[in-house]
Structure 1
């Protein structure tokens, strides 16, 4: 069964969420954190797969995205850190209070693996599975990819944010990104420690708080968005968790590129998704 709902954050924003329920009693719950500028609907087939295999799954849109859009793209409450501090934290609170008997896990795609460190209740998660999650510091990219990411962090995103109040989805390959979210993202990307405060000091308390099992999936043809060095850098943020990196040889899985977004396509149900299911089953 698929049910849409609204969840209100502590600072008063309404998030659009979707609940995917299994036919029988769920064995555990899974929260899916989207990538930057990607609507929750992108993960629907994967959520259905998990529900078919006994999990209660929650997808949601971050503030300013999709069904959680706001009228004012310059709203001061819109930031990337707020995606974790308020949005994810609220979804965790809602999930654990509505379904108290379940253990809850998280699957994070790209930034979805970063924002976990901002949720003050992240220890409620029994395990975390990160797909192509990374530190966005430009120095982690290879020489061929650096000009593009340097242009994004130092020029394109700051300029468009200031002029338009957003970064149009045309430039991101997804949804438009509100100015406050985009500016903070680019600011982080310019700093070697990536997730930092306004004074440039590393933000790590919420990351070091996690002690659960975490898997980081690195897909070896994802050179534009999540190179191995960037994945390793984010893994190091979670210094007290039981972390591991699994390297996926894309050519061994499919003749088509997988890249940064391919994992969540239904054609990987019998390959990549089965591996994820096995890991979640062991954690559950």
Structure 2
């Protein structure tokens, strides 16, 4: 495994137009020398691209071309208010395929892989962005059912945001102040309203007939690695399984890590992508991606 200095990789800012309207802003990181494979990192809800910087650089240091980005209406991909009607399904059904297609076009001769954080892996579980993909990793990706949150205090906090404060600000302002509410980045009102609705359903978007989720997940045949963390209050094994047990025609490997496995005090819902996970956890995913791409270890 290579352990190059970050200065040995290059980065390029990219804009990708979406057929339905708007533009996705992201960063392409390239290794020193020809890339061996290409990886897209599909983000979580209202999580800024910068969270994925360290992990993207790590993969690039090890020979991968890596593209990370912000969903439309978040971060650098347009203001939430200007994209107020965008829903979560639009990110999954439009943004994820658009970025995957762009990377495939940019690197037509490379093996293609993906890593999805929370919502990003939902999109792939729903059969989006999988064309020509050798495999994908789902990180802390779960059915976001509020009643399923085991910690009572966290369940009340999330319930207040998803059932009252988020929908209220989404309707009144057209955008949700995610930073002030402790949700991450500000986001379009339409996405919050859809999220709020799904969070009240026992089986999340599988109970939304318009999503056709059971049929779509059954169409997935791409190998997947699904990982969770013992101190994540949202993505518990039960809630991860609520999504990925529906991939009945795919090979799905499941792993659960504790903070002790990583040698750090906490991981939670976001910590895998922070640099504290570099020494212990990132190599596990790198090895899996390398194997699925049919590459020899470096």
Q: Under TM normalisation by the shorter chain, which class is it?
A: over 0.9
Structure 1 residue 220, shift from structure 2 partner: 0.2
Preserved contact between residue 123 and residue 209 of structure 1 (Cα < 8 Å): no
Structure 1 residue 196, shift from structure 2 partner: 4.7
Aligned residues: 282
Preserved contact between residue 118 and residue 138 of structure 2 (Cα < 8 Å): yes
Task: Kindly indicate whether residue 213 of structure 2 is the aligned counterpart of residue 226 of structure 1.
Answer: no
| Cα deviation 1:123-168 (Å, max 9, x = unaligned) | 3321110111101122432152433333333222222211222221
| Cα deviation 1:158-211 (Å, max 9, x = unaligned) | 222112222212113411111001111111111122115765765233322221
For residue 100 of structure 1, the aligned residue among 89, 108, 120 is: 108
Structure 1 residue 17, shift from structure 2 partner: 1.4
Q: Partner residue of 1:156?
A: 165
TM-score normalized with structure 2 length? 0.88
Please give the alpha-carbon distance, in whole angstroms, between the structure 1 residues aligned to 2:83 and 2:15: 22
Please give the alpha-carbon distance, in whole angstroms, between the structure 2 residues aligned to 1:217 and 1:118: 17
Preserved contact between residue 46 and residue 187 of structure 2 (Cα < 8 Å): yes
Task: Kindly indicate whether residue 38 of structure 2 is the aligned counterpart of residue 17 of structure 1.
Answer: no
Task: Kindly indicate whether residue 254 of structure 2 is the aligned counterpart of residue 245 of structure 1.
Answer: yes
Please give the alpha-carbon distance, in whole angstroms, between the structure 1 residues aligned to 2:240 and 2:126: 18
Q: Partner residue of 1:210?
A: 220
Matches within 5 A, 1:263-282: 263-282=272-291
Q: Partner residue of 2:133?
A: 125
Secondary structure in 2 matching 1:89: helix
Q: Partner residue of 1:65?
A: 74
Preserved contact between residue 157 and residue 167 of structure 1 (Cα < 8 Å): yes
Secondary structure in 2 matching 1:58: strand
Q: Partner residue of 2:64?
A: 55
Gaps of 5+ in 1: none
Please give the alpha-carbon distance, in whole angstroms, between the structure 1 residues aligned to 2:147 and 2:132: 33
Structure 1 residue 232, shift from structure 2 partner: 1.2
For residue 191 of structure 1, the aligned residue among 175, 197, 201 is: 201
Task: Kindly indicate whether residue 159 of structure 2 is the aligned counterpart of residue 175 of structure 1.
Answer: no
Task: Kindly indicate whether residue 90 of structure 2 is the aligned counterpart of residue 82 of structure 1.
Answer: yes
**Cα distance change of structure 1 residues 194 and 205 upon mapping to structure 2, 3 Å threshold:** same
Task: Kindly indicate whether residue 40 of structure 2 is the aligned counterpart of residue 31 of structure 1.
Answer: yes
Secondary structure in 1 matching 2:113: strand
**Cα distance change of structure 1 residues 17 and 45 upon mapping to structure 2, 3 Å threshold:** same
Structure 1 residue 122, shift from structure 2 partner: 2.1
